[in-house]
Amino acid sequence: MIEDKHLDSVEGLGRFLRSRRELLTPAAVGLPSTGRRRVPGLRRDEVAALAGVSASYYMRLEQGRELNPSRRVLEAVARVLQLGDEDRLRLFRMVQPSARRMKPPVRVERASSSLRQLIESLTRSPAFVIGHAQDILAANDLAAALYADFAQRDNVLRMLFLDPAAKSFYRSPERARHRAVADLQRTAARTPDDPRILELVGELAVRSGDFRSLWAREYTKVPPYEVKRVHHSSVGDMELRHEALDIRSAPGQQLIVLQAEPGSPSADALALLGSISAPALPQPSTGHTDG
């Protein structure tokens, strides 16, 4: 155990975090080991990603420039650094004033019934509602058909980084990934102790090296939405205009609508997708019975 009479200062906090970070190997936290490393132990950006915070936020924490880390963030950092009971207690003592803050309530997001009715009424356009962490809260039938090639349709980032279908579905998967990560970083900056974001970023950081690399970047702005070029296994290539609308009645949620240019091959493909994915109508009864 490292003894330091200044451990209760912000400078001591930085030294404490660095010393524990340097004791861990990538393999110890589930990351692949790739060649020689310039620093012992884990890098800052790796700890940040695994803890679910931005690289700049964690850097400020180690440098003593982040004076109000929440309890949730400290718990995430303690988990990543695999602190024992004594070290975990010391960590919380070093930032005791801010660690006493009340935990924010866990946010359970749902799409309202009126939003569900709205997207279901859009029969010619794929439409869905996403939450603040890009969880898919509701989708109409055409959106479900459009993303049918994906094994799970629960979160935009998980689909982009963890599902192999993304590489064949998106004609520019890297562009889609950059935008999704930049959007999540913007949300995380506003709510750094949000439990859903901490959980999501931690999972993606362990399971996707591409995500870790993008999360370590600092996006100054979110790239604009544009035409989405996709390939569906049943109807082929499509170009769809991507519209994202903030929902004022549910802050943090967005309504996503994808539209094809009227009269275009993409519109024909979208119409075909709607027809082949529509549920079969029940056959009318003939009125005859056996016997």
Instruction: Tell me whether residue 98 is exposed, middle or buried, using C-beta atoms within 10 angstroms of its C-beta: 0 to 12, 13 to 18, 19 or more.
Output: middle
Contact 143, 124 (CB under 8 A): no
Residues 145 and 215 in one domain: yes
For 71-87, write each residue's pLDDT tens digit.
888 888 999 999 988 88
For 235-286, write each residue's pLDDT tens digit.
999 999 999 999 999 999 999 999 999 999 999 999 999 998 776 556 665 5
Helix (H) and strand (E) counts in the chain: 14, 5
137 in a domain, yes or no?
Answer: yes
- Indicate the Cα dihedral angle 73, 250, 117, 241, nearest 10°: -80
Distance of alpha carbon 153 from alpha carbon 158, whole angstroms: 8
Residues 87 and 229 in one domain: no
pTM of the model: 0.72
What is the H or E stretch that residue 74 is in?
Answer: helix 71-80
Residue-number span of the structural domain to which 36 is assigned: 10-99
290 in a domain, yes or no?
Answer: no
**Which CATH number does the domain housing residue 86 bear?**
1.10.260.40
